[in-house]
């Protein structure tokens, strides 16, 4: 799994939103919710629906501020307009 995570990191650096989503999921499994949220925020703003769902759930649990959630929603709406 370490090799897979290494490749996800490289892909995420290159802008691959699914790799970023996967890194967030692995961080959440490891109990690093703050790091998971950072990955999901980036991935959601790049258009990943699963990350956006995780951000919404984090907002409901109080892990993400209303402002951060709103900023992420605005970023995804901008992607739809393009």
- CA dihedral (48, 52, 57, 59) in degrees, to 10, reads 140
pTM: 0.88
**Statement: residue 3 has pLDDT above 90:** yes
Integer Cα distance of 71 and 62 in angstroms: 16
Return the percentage of the chain with pLDDT > 90, whole number: 87
List the chain domain ranges: 2-81
Q: If pLDDT is split at 50, 70 and 90, which confidence band does 81 have? A: low
- Tell me, which fold does domain 2-81 have in CATH? 1.25.40
Mean of pLDDT over the chain: 93
């Amino acid at each position: 799994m370490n090799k897979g995570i290494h490749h996800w990191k490289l892909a995420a650096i290159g802008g691959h939103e699914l790799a970023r989503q996967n890194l967030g999921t692995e961080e959440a499994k490891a109990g690093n919710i703050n790091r998971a949220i950072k990955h999901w925020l980036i991935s959601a703003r790049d258009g990943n629906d699963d990350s956006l769902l995780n951000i919404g759930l984090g907002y409901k649990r109080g892990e993400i501020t209303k402002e951060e959630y709103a900023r992420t929603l605005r970023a995804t709406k901008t992607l739809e307009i393009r």
